[in-house]
């Protein structure tokens, strides 16, 4: 048998070891060493295990022995929350990090306009809700000590004999208080993080897991004889069938999930001590694994304990008493250390979290309110904050101890559930704050108030027993004799399980009142600002604007910051801010952004509400107005507008650039065409000029020339000048047509008459005969157009056929058709036609088909095309079997082209 | 203004669907863990209908193990770059 002294010695050694670990971790963190361990996801996951308190370690077995598998709900809820990290925890951690939140109370107060009233209320509720839980841990340590001190008495469930439990509890509480003070309040700020505490908690997490697994393995393989035998024993035991009522199964799972989110100590390790959001992702599967292992052997231990231990043994202590009764002292010692670890780690973190809340939201505001000008005074206030933290730790520990002495303790699980029910009341305000911008401060206050009152009335007070806090009469007939106010049958609905009843009513009414009041109240500007930042925390990392342009002196802010952050820290912060503002040295300008950043920095040390109040004292007056909020919204709207305008403009510019590029290409082309045209014209003019000059020189210089020669040379000169004149006429004609300066002489006339005239003109004096086939019936169409110009086109086409048709018996078919509002006149000869590759270019100026002799300058078809365009028609080359074919289209019922008409008129006027 | 594209290449697509699985997993597990609500209680049914404790244990813990395994598998595939998922709603 282990003596109590041995046990105490081992215990002290263990605690000394924890102190050493915490000290080393703290020192390493200070020097920036061992980050791989201190900031690892493993340590983060293990630190979450403070969820598993002595209630888990000892109480779960007792719970299982009493109610079967119901105990597992306490772990299912948190497992679900963790595996669903993406939905809630991710958001919570992001908000916690971006707002430098220090506790649950701070989170809720920051969300609802940094209201200190709200923080105060939440703090009080948390203290009331968690104190029984701390008492529970003290009780479990004392009970487990007692079982070693007086094994027989404890095993038979009697009160301890020589062992003074009050004294033991006092020393345990004192020891824990010292540890928490030492490592929890060493320094201020750096985001309320405590590497020493976290690493100690992680070590304890490993110890309690190993201890429970060891006991479990001993029970399954040592006592029961294997897995199959254990399962047989389980089925044969008193808890051998599934007997959990559906309502309790759902409610307790929900309650555990909610408490996991709302418990101050869970918030501390999960959000405040979080270093990296990715750790959350790792913990999402690793922590459920831990919980699963912690609860794996609970039922076997309970069943074997019920089998082997004498009737009436306290099932809450089976984990210890089973190894003890089998003479396994080493294992019992390990189990004791496991239970001790569970209890101490929970008490340390819970006390730390609560003391932060008490100090930031109760002590500091009172201290601030007492000295009005205090925020602007010089002198370090950090010692005040730290002192208030330490006092708060002592106060909370004292409260826990007092509760333990007064209540005397009940079943562990019952106290745990009650505590869960209390903190679960934070849920509506918290979730509403994270997901709903419409949640207001008044709504949160009302909801919290209603939920808390109902929890006290239906869960906390009845737990003390009938006639202890509430009289039997109240239980029977309701508060003040009102039948619908019975603590376990509200509104006359009876038959519900008391826990289900309390949880469902308090949470439902809490949420209902919260939503209803929020719907009907109007939030203050700063609430709306904070609300937007909380709800949209995942969308933008911008800290937003909290202060209107302030008249604050930077010196005053500097003095205040020094007092809270410390001289060195404050100087560094101001310097980096000054640099961010682009200043080389000196103090930064008190811009809203700077003041906001400073407030956030202070909030990490003293909480959002206090920091806001302190900055408010210096900056003065309301920090932000509705107009400012609207201005912020306007700014972002303008930014959006501006960016979309930029986008449209850039699109426009690229389009214009493309157009310009195209225009440039066209211009280059045109310039090349113009050059080609000029060289063509020079060439065309030069040839007749050369022969004119030669022959005139002969006429001038040759003596005794015959009259016949003389007249021949003169007629050559004459012919060349006629050719020149015609060329110039054609050019002039073309230029007039191209510039649209032509005057159209519109008349009515028969197509046949025009063709007659054209044929007569072009065939007059022709060297070769041309056989022309016509269709006189079709030619009776009346046309309203410039008949002379049309005739000019026909003449050109007919004389071309006459000149260039290479057939033996040249023949020209002229056919006329009316198609869709236009007259098509086709001129088809039986010559060799035009080669395919040249059809594209025959209408270009100066184009002449290669290898064909002729006297034309190559302007005829160009002129024809220009004329037809002016007349609103067209001339095209037809790919025809053999021979060349041209189609002239003339509109019948419409006026010539609009543009040409107006141009004609302007040219005429 | 950087706009998220409407369609993604194969890798990003696969990643998005894995994140969908991460979001969906808790609901699946919740549904499975609420199955015991359908089991009969000793009071209200014949004794042979009662679910033995060993079965209940196997069921609840089996789901637990599967959940951890699924969570681990999803974590192993989605952990590397967290950057683009921060923006996805």
Counted across chains A and B, CB pairs separated by less than 8 A come out at: 106
Residue A190, pLDDT score: 47
Q: How far is A93 from chain B (nearest CA, A)?
A: 13
Q: How far is A636 from chain B (nearest CA, A)?
A: 12
Residue A687, pLDDT score: 82
pLDDT at residue A826 greater than cutoff 70: yes
Q: Checking phi first, is residue A820 left (phi over 0); if not, alpha (psi -120 to 50) or beta?
A: left
Domain membership flag for residue B5 = no
Residue A156, pLDDT score: 44
Residue A896, pLDDT score: 45
Q: Name the most confidently modeled range: A287-291, A805-809, A900-904, B34-38.
A: A287-291
> Among partner residues A234, A277, A284, which is closest to B53 by beta-carbon distance?
A234
> Among partner residues A242, A288, A299, which is closest to B64 by beta-carbon distance?
A288
To which H or E segment does residue B32 belong?
helix B10-33
Average pLDDT over residues A81-105: 87
Residues of B in contact with A292 (CB under 8 A): 61, 64-65, 68
Q: What is the residue-averaged pLDDT of chain B?
A: 78
Residue A187, pLDDT score: 60
Of A275, A48, A282, the C-alpha closest to B75 is A282
pLDDT at residue A155 greater than cutoff 60: no
pLDDT at residue A322 greater than cutoff 80: yes
For A575-590, how does the pLDDT look when each residue is reduced to its tens digit (9 = 90+)?
888 888 777 767 777 7
Average pLDDT over residues A297-307: 89
- Which carries the bigger pLDDT value, residue A803 or residue A48? A48
pLDDT at residue A7 greater than cutoff 90: no
Residue A188, pLDDT score: 54
Mutate to test the interface with B, among A79, A94, A300, A646 (most CBs of B within 10 A): A79
Q: Sign of dihedral through CA atoms A523, A123, A429, A271?
A: positive
- Which carries the bigger pLDDT value, residue A370 or residue A811? A811
Q: Is the Cβ pair A69, B60 closer than 8 Å?
A: yes
Question: Considering chain A, what percentage of its residues have pLDDT values greater than 70?
Answer: 84
Helix axes A4-31, A116-149, angle to 10 degrees: 140
Residue A909, pLDDT score: 39
- Rounded CA separation A291/A149 (Å): 31
Q: Sign of dihedral through CA atoms A745, A749, A751, A756?
A: negative
Domain membership flag for residue B32 = yes
Residue A684, pLDDT score: 79
Domain membership flag for residue B35 = yes
Residue A151, pLDDT score: 57
For A517-541, how does the pLDDT look when each residue is reduced to its tens digit (9 = 90+)?
999 998 888 788 888 888 887 776 5
Contact in structure between A377 and A145 (CB atoms under 8 Å): no
Q: Quick count: other Cβ atoms within 10 Å of Cβ A5?
A: 10
Residue in chain A closest to B47 (alpha carbons) equals A241
pLDDT at residue A724 greater than cutoff 80: yes
Residue A570, pLDDT score: 78
Q: Is the Cβ pair B75, A72 closer than 8 Å?
A: no
Domain membership flag for residue B4 = no
| Local structure of A890: helix, strand or coil | strand
Average pLDDT over residues A17-35: 81
Q: What is the CATH number of domain A628-733?
A: 1.10.287.130
Q: Which residues of A touch B (CB under 8 A)?
A: 68-69, 72, 76, 79-80, 83-84, 86-87, 231-232, 234-235, 237, 239-246, 249-250, 253, 277-278, 281-282, 284-285, 288-289, 292, 296, 299, 538-539, 640, 643-644, 647
Identify the band that residue A869 occupies on the pLDDT scale cut at 50, 70 and 90: confident
Average pLDDT over residues A795-816: 84
Q: Is the Cβ pair A292, B79 closer than 8 Å?
A: no
pLDDT at residue A319 greater than cutoff 70: yes
Residue A902, pLDDT score: 42
Pick the CATH number of A37-97+133-370+379-409 from 3.40.50.720, 1.20.1050.10, 1.10.3720.10, 1.20.1730.10: 1.20.1730.10
Residues of A in contact with B75 (CB under 8 A): 281-282, 284-285
Residue A206, pLDDT score: 93
Q: How far is A508 from chain B (nearest CA, A)?
A: 21
Within a 13 Å sphere around the CA of A658, how many CA atoms are in the beta-carbon half? 5
- Rounded CA separation A407/A464 (Å): 8
Contact in structure between A150 and A163 (CB atoms under 8 Å): yes
Q: Is the Cβ pair A241, B53 closer than 8 Å?
A: yes
Residue B70, pLDDT score: 92
pLDDT at residue A123 greater than cutoff 70: yes
What are the Cα distances from residue A570, in Å, to A385, A559, A574, A577? 16, 9, 6, 11
Q: How far is A647 from chain B (nearest CA, A)?
A: 9
Q: Considering the domain A744-908, what is its CATH architecture?
A: 2-Layer Sandwich (3.30)
- Name which of A28-32, A93-97, A330-334, A488-492 the model is least confident about: A488-492
Contact in structure between A595 and A550 (CB atoms under 8 Å): yes
Residue in chain B closest to A231 (alpha carbons) equals B54
Contact in structure between A889 and A822 (CB atoms under 8 Å): yes
- Which carries the bigger pLDDT value, residue A214 or residue A905? A214
Q: Name the most confidently modeled range: A137-146, A149-158, A507-516, A721-730.
A: A507-516
Tell the residue number behind the tokens 């073309």, with chain if given.
A734
To which H or E segment does residue A785 belong?
strand A782-786
Average pLDDT over residues A421-430: 92
Contact in structure between A355 and A392 (CB atoms under 8 Å): yes
Identify the band that residue A555 occupies on the pLDDT scale cut at 50, 70 and 90: confident
Residue A409, pLDDT score: 54
- Rounded CA separation B67/B60 (Å): 11
Q: Sign of dihedral through CA atoms A75, A78, A80, A82?
A: negative
Q: Is the Cβ pair A84, B61 closer than 8 Å?
A: no
Q: Sign of dihedral through CA atoms A538, A423, A107, A178?
A: negative
Q: What is the DSSP letter of A53?
A: -
Residues of B in contact with A242 (CB under 8 A): 36, 39, 41, 50-53, 55-56
- Rounded CA separation A681/A862 (Å): 14
Of A149, A252, A211, A839, the C-alpha closest to A503 is A252
Average pLDDT over residues B21-49: 80
Q: Is the Cβ pair B53, A235 closer than 8 Å?
A: yes
Q: Is the Cβ pair A241, B68 closer than 8 Å?
A: no
Q: Find the largest Cα–Cα distance for chain A.
A: 170
> Among partner residues B26, B52, B67, which is closest to A240 by beta-carbon distance?
B52
Q: Is the Cβ pair A281, B79 closer than 8 Å?
A: yes
pLDDT at residue A653 greater than cutoff 90: yes
Average pLDDT over residues A297-304: 90
Domain membership flag for residue B46 = yes
Domain membership flag for residue B66 = yes
Q: How many domains in chain B? A: 1
Residues of B in contact with A97 (CB under 8 A): none
pLDDT at residue A78 greater than cutoff 90: yes
Q: Structural domain boundaries of chain A?
A: 37-97+133-370+379-409, 547-621, 628-733, 744-908
Residue in chain B closest to A83 (alpha carbons) equals B26
Mutate to test the interface with B, among A98, A251, A285 (most CBs of B within 10 A): A285
Average pLDDT over residues A872-896: 78
- Name which of A357-371, A684-698, A860-874 the model is least confident about: A357-371
- Name which of A175-179, A273-277, B45-49 the model is least confident about: B45-49
B28: containing domain: 10-86
Residue A474, pLDDT score: 67
Average pLDDT over residues A443-461: 89
- Rounded CA separation A538/A518 (Å): 23
Residues of A in contact with B82 (CB under 8 A): 277-278, 281
Q: Pairing mode, if any, of strands A811-819 and A771-773?
A: parallel
Phi, psi of A886 (to 5 degrees): -120, 140
Q: Find the largest Cα–Cα distance for chain B.
A: 67
pLDDT at residue A558 greater than cutoff 60: yes
Domain membership flag for residue B2 = no
- Name which of A389-403, A641-655, A856-870 the model is least confident about: A856-870
- Which carries the bigger pLDDT value, residue A741 or residue A874? A874
Residue A410, pLDDT score: 55
Tell the residue number behind the tokens 């440039």, with chain if given.
A664
Contact in structure between A142 and A369 (CB atoms under 8 Å): no
């Amino acid at each position: 048998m282990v003596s109590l002294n041995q046990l105490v010695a081992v215990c002290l050694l263990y605690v000394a070891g924890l102190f050493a670990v915490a000290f080393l971790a703290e020192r390493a963190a200070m020097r920036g060493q061992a980050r791989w361990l201190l900031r690892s996801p493993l340590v983060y996951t293990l630190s979450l295990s403070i969820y598993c308190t002595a209630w888990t370690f000892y109480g779960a077995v007792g719970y299982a022995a009493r109610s079967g598998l119901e105990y597992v709900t306490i772990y299912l809820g948190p497992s679900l929350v963790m595996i669903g990290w993406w939905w809630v925890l991710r958001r919570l951690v992001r908000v916690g990090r971006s707002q430098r939140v220090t506790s649950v109370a701070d989170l809720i107060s920051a969300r609802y306009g940094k209201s200190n009233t709200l923080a105060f209320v939440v703090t009080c509720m948390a203290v009331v809700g968690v104190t029984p839980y701390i008492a529970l841990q003290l009780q479990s340590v004392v009970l487990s000590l007692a079982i070693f001190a007086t094994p027989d008495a404890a095993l038979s469930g009697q009160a301890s004999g020589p062992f003074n439990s009050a004294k033991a509890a006092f020393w345990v509480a004192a020891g824990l208080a010292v540890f928490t003070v030492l490592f929890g309040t060493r320094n201020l700020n750096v985001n309320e993080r405590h590497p020493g505490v976290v690493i100690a908690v992680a070590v304890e997490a490993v110890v309690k897991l190993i201890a429970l697994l060891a006991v479990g393995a001993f029970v399954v393989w040592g006592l029961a004889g294997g897995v199959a035998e254990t399962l047989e024993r389980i089925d044969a035991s008193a808890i051998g069938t599934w007997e959990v009522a559906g309502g309790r199964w759902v409610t307790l799972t929900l309650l555990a999930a909610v408490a996991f989110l709302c418990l101050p100590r869970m918030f501390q390790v999960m959000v405040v001590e979080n270093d990296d959001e990715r750790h959350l992702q790792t913990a999402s599967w690793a922590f459920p694994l831990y919980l699963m292992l912690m609860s794996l052997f609970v039922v076997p231990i309970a069943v074997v304990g019920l089998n082997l231990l004498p009737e009436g043994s306290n099932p809450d202590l089976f984990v210890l008493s089973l190894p003890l009764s089998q003479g396994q002292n080493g294992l019992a010692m390990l189990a004791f250390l496991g239970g001790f670890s569970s209890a101490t780690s929970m008490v340390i973190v819970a006390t730390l979290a609560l003391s932060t809340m008490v100090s930031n939201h109760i002590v500091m505001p009172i201290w601030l309110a007492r000295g009005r000008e205090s925020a602007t005074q010089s002198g370090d206030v950090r010692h005040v904050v730290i002192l208030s933290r330490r006092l708060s730790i002592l106060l909370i520990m004292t409260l826990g101890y007092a509760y333990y002495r007064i209540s005397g303790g009940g079943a562990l699980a019952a106290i745990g559930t009650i505590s869960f029910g209390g903190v679960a009341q934070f849920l509506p305000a918290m979730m509403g704050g994270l997901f709903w911008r419409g949640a207001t401060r008044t709504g949160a206050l009302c909801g919290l108030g209603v939920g808390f009152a109902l929890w006290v009335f239906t869960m906390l007070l009845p737990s003390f027993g009938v006639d202890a806090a509430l009289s039997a009469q109240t239980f029977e007939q309701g508060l003040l004799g009102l039948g619908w106010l019975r603590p376990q049958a509200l509104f006359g609905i009876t038959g519900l399980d008391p826990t289900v009843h309390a949880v469902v009513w308090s949470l439902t009414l809490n949420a209902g009142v919260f939503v209803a009041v929020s719907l009907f109240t109007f939030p203050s500007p700063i609430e709306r600002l904070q609300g937007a930042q909380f709800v949209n925390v995942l969308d933008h990392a911008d800290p937003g604007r909290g202060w209107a342009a302030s008249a604050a002196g930077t010196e005053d802010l500097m003095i205040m910051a020094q007092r809270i952050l410390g001289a060195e820290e404050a100087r560094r912060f101001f310097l980096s801010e000054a640099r961010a503002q682009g200043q080389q040295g000196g103090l930064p300008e008190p811009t809203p952004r700077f003041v906001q950043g400073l407030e956030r920095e202070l909030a990490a040390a003293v909480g959002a509400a206090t920091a806001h109040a302190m900055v408010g004292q210096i900056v003065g007056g309301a920090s932000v107005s509705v107009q400012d909020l609207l201005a912020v919204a306007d700014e972002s709207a303008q930014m959006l507008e501006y960016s979309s305008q930029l986008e449209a403009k850039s699109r426009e510019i690229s389009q214009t650039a493309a157009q310009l590029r195209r225009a440039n290409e066209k211009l280059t082309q045109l310039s090349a065409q113009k050059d080609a045209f000029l060289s063509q014209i020079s060439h065309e003019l030069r040839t007749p000029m050369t022969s004119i000059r030669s022959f005139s020189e002969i006429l001038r210089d040759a003596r005794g020339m015959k009259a016949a020669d003389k007249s021949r040379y003169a007629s050559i000169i004459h012919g060349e000048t006629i050719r020149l004149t015609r060329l110039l006429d054609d050019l002039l004609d073309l230029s007039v047509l191209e510039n649209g300066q032509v005057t159209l002489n519109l008349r009515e006339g028969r197509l046949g008459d025009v063709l007659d005239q054209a044929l007569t003109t072009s065939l007059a004096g022709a060297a070769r005969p041309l056989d022309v086939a016509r269709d006189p019936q079709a030619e009776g169409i009346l046309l309203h157009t410039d008949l002379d110009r049309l005739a000019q086109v026909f003449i050109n086409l007919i004389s071309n056929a006459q000149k260039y048709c290479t057939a033996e018996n040249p023949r020209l078919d002229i056919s006329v058709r009316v198609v869709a509002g236009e007259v098509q006149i086709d001129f088809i000869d039986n010559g060799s036609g035009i080669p395919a590759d040249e059809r594209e270019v025959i209408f270009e100026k100066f184009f002449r088909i290669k290898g064909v002799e002729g006297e034309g300058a190559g302007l005829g078809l160009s002129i024809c095309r220009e004329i037809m365009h002016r007349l609103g028609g067209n001339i095209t080359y037809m790919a025809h079997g053999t021979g060349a074919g041209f189609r002239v289209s003339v509109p019948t019922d419409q006026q010539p082209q609009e543009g040409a008409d107006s141009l004609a008129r302007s040219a005429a006027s | 203004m950087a706009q998220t594209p409407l369609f993604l290449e194969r890798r990003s697509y696969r990643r998005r669907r894995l994140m969908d699985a991460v979001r969906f997993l808790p609901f699946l597990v919740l549904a499975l863990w609420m199955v015991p609500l359908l089991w009969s209680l000793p009071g209200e049914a014949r004794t042979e209908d009662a679910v033995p404790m060993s079965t209940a244990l196997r069921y609840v813990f089996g789901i637990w193990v599967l959940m951890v395994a699924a969570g681990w598998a999803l974590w192993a595939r989605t952990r590397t770059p967290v950057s683009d998922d921060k923006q996805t709603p």
